[in-house]
Chains A and B, each alone.
Chain A
Amino acid sequence: MTNDLDLQSLILESATRILRDSCDPQTVNVAFGDGWKEPLWRDLEESGLTLCWIAEDKGGAGVPLAVGFEVLFVAGRFAIPVPLSETMIAGWLLSAADIPVPEGSITLSSQPSRQSVNVDASGKLSGTVTAVPFAGEADYLAVCAPGEGGPIIALAAMQDCTPATKSSFSGDPKGDVGLDGVIPVASAPMPFEMNEEALLMFGAAARSRQIAGALQAILDLSVSYARERVAFGRPIGKFQAVQHNLARLAGEVAAANAASGSACDTITRAGSFDETVFLEAASAKIRAGEAAGEGAAIAHQVFGAIGFTQEHVLHRYTRRLWGWRDDFGSESEWAEKLGRRVVDAGADELWPMLAAR
């Protein structure tokens, strides 16, 4: 038996190797067409990463939630351009609801609390699922809908749905998916006593971890570049103004890392999606989102004109960072909710809430 830490490092090494081989941002950036996508997805599937949160007796890798969140950090470091996190989250929910998880990629709405989807008596779906990452591209869609005995989760084949893919910041497709008349492949009550709000918290934590990984990558890129690029007779990293910008970038990277790590850790240990998880998930998404904006701006400033070109790899990260800010609640949406909770609880409860852990 391997212990958890050994398991974690094995899985993260494997994830890093696959992504380095099949999803190197520089290679992908200059590739013609999408020919890299299929082998990448195949490698991810074969490694078990796509189904890593599914229990072993249900055909998955049975990886602990904590380790899966770290896989998402690694995915962020490679500006992941396929629905890995979406498939992981959907697979986790579906399998826990005892729905057999099919091969292929699965996506879900990045605005789970804002959906107006209905299920009729025959099980037919209607309505539209909005803000779905990889909307036209994924093979399946996991849908949350209100059921008679509480929220349900349904699995629909994308080919039965009507995806209207819009462009997104990232260059990855994202859009609304029409469900009218769609008969789901399967449906079941939502597991873990989860509802749309809880799914929003889980998604926020997961996306924040991905943001933190991408931020770490642009810090690494920016520092390397500042050490190599010579201007005015010295590497630009020797100039105090550039050093201070990079120090600020490191601060943003650190904040996103700490906030997202804490939220994921809290979810891993929590028995339910309670007030504690809310504070952690909200803070992670707010702070990681802010860091994404600040960090991307600093990295672009360090790289100058070259970083603004199609040819350069930086935009693969920064465009996704900007896009990921909007998934599973933007900074402003979370902040307004958090602010109202603080006020409702009363000013005297603010410190006890923060100091509880």
Chain B
Amino acid sequence: MSSNAEQTLQFDQIRLPPEAQALREEVRTFLAEEVAAGTFDPHSGGQGDDFDRAFSRRVGARGWIGMTWPKKYGGHERTFLERYVLTEEFRIANAPTRGHFIADRQSGPILMKYANEDICMDVLPRICRGECCFCIGMSEPGSGSDLFAARTKAEKTEGGWRINGTKLWTSGAHHADYMIGLFRTSPPTKENRRHGLTQFLVDMTLPGITVNPVPQMTGSLDFNEVVLEDVFIPDSHMLGDVDMAWTQATSELAYERSGPERFLETFYVLVGLARVLEDNPDTRGAEGLGRLVAQLHTLRRMSVSVNGMLQAGKEPVLEGSIVKDLGTAWEQALPARARDLAAFANPQSANIPSFRKQLEHATLIAPKLTIQGGTTEILRGIIARGLGLR
């Protein structure tokens, strides 16, 4: 393997095109109407993961789910940068996107690449209409970051596969219509321990599937245990090649890792801090706020750049992983830093009570930010590989 040591990290200068900024205005108007109608409260965090099927349908009706996908699947063939703007506006507003976001970001693209045409024609248009919610069946009791330790088994049987095992920490499984599950179809080989796993599309209404809630420390009921007992999945629902899931899992990671949702999860705390400091900030408060804004601006420039490069057909895999590593660490550290910076703010400020509430919420959810979707440790391993160290 040649050395990457002389390879410069690349961030093309990408500015959002006028059509993306025009879309931003449309999205803001839509969200303001939803807020006015009482659908959600934009000032409190934690609703980004909330499930609201009716809201998802309205988003779908606007053409904002699967917006980059081919029209024949119900998509709108718009650009990644338009989707980018949409994603960040929804996230900033704390809109309840759980009903469609996972399908839009990753499940739909996986189906387009690996599912047969009948399934694509059936499922993708429903995702685009906001009628179809997905969960991701990867982690298991003995397999988290070490994905290739998955033991939930798929055994070949007449016309399909019989699934037995348990998936764990499955976010949103209790709402999901489908899961994209990773199951063991063969034992690993001596040469390649990643061999032997296969992805399947699992209809969550099939007999043999039990979803049990696992309450989170925040009180949220997002996590689930999904028990699969003799679940029959037809051959047509296998995604990609048997035993080869490990080659499929890596290609789309730049999309999944580099989005604005990877650093905006606690953004409301930054706005809250600015509000608390609003009248006459002390030097430390102003300086600290300035640094946070500069860091966020930089993350966003990196993220826009990676998405622009993806749109241009490049593969900034290393840069995408770096965005998630830096971004999740930043959004995780934000509550503690904001707490420090607000310590000497005017205690009479009317904005203190709401800020405290935001802080409490953000502090509680912060630990998950560097775990979900690939831990910091896994990401740094991937970055090290990109640098030519592994």
User: Which residue numbers of A lie inside 8 Å of B, CB to CB?
Assistant: 216, 219-220, 223-224, 226-227, 237-238, 240, 243-244, 246-248, 250-251, 253-255, 257-259, 261-262, 265, 279-280, 282-284, 286-287, 290, 331-332, 334-340, 342-343, 346-348, 350-351, 354-355, 357
Contacts and interface: CB of A to CB of B under 8 A. Distances in A.
Interface in B201-245: none
A254 B302 contact: yes
Given A247-B325, A250-B9, A336-B290, A347 B274 contact: yes
Interface string B2-39: 01111011010101100000001000000000000000
B275 interface: yes
Nearest to A225: B5
A238 B24 contact: no
Contacts of A224: 3, 5
Interface string B258-301: 00000000010011101101100101011111110111111111
B387 A347 contact: no
A343 B383 contact: no
15 contacts: A223-B5, A224-B5, A237-B384, A247-B387, A248-B380, A253-B9, A258-B301, A259-B294, A261-B11, A334-B294, A335-B290, A339-B293, A347-B275, A351-B92, A355-B88
Given A335-B289, A335-B294, A339-B286, 17 more contacts: A237-B389, A238-B390, A247-B379, A250-B318, A254-B302, A254-B322, A255-B299, A258-B301, A262-B298, A283-B295, A284-B298, A286-B295, A336-B283, A340-B286, A342-B290, A342-B293, A348-B271
Contacts of B301: 258-259, 262
Nearest to A282: B294
Contacts, number: 173
A254 B281 contact: no
Contact of A254 (B11, B270, B271, B296): B11
Interface of B: 3-6, 8-9, 11, 13, 15-16, 24, 85, 88-89, 92, 267, 270-272, 274-275, 277-278, 281, 283, 285-291, 293-302, 304-305, 318-319, 322, 325-326, 377, 379-381, 383-384, 386-390
Contact residues of B: prevailing secondary structure: helix
Given A223-B5, A243-B380, A287 B294 contact: yes
A250 B322 contact: yes
B294 A286 contact: yes
A283 B294 contact: yes
Nearest to B260: A355
A161 to B, nearest CB: 34
A227 B385 CA distance: 12
B274 A243 contact: no
Nearest to B321: A247
A248 B325 CA distance: 9
Nearest to B93: A351
Contact of A247 (B267, B287, B384): B384
A335 B341 CA distance: 13
B30 to A, nearest CB: 16
A187 to B, nearest CB: 35
Contact of A244 (B4, B5, B380): B380
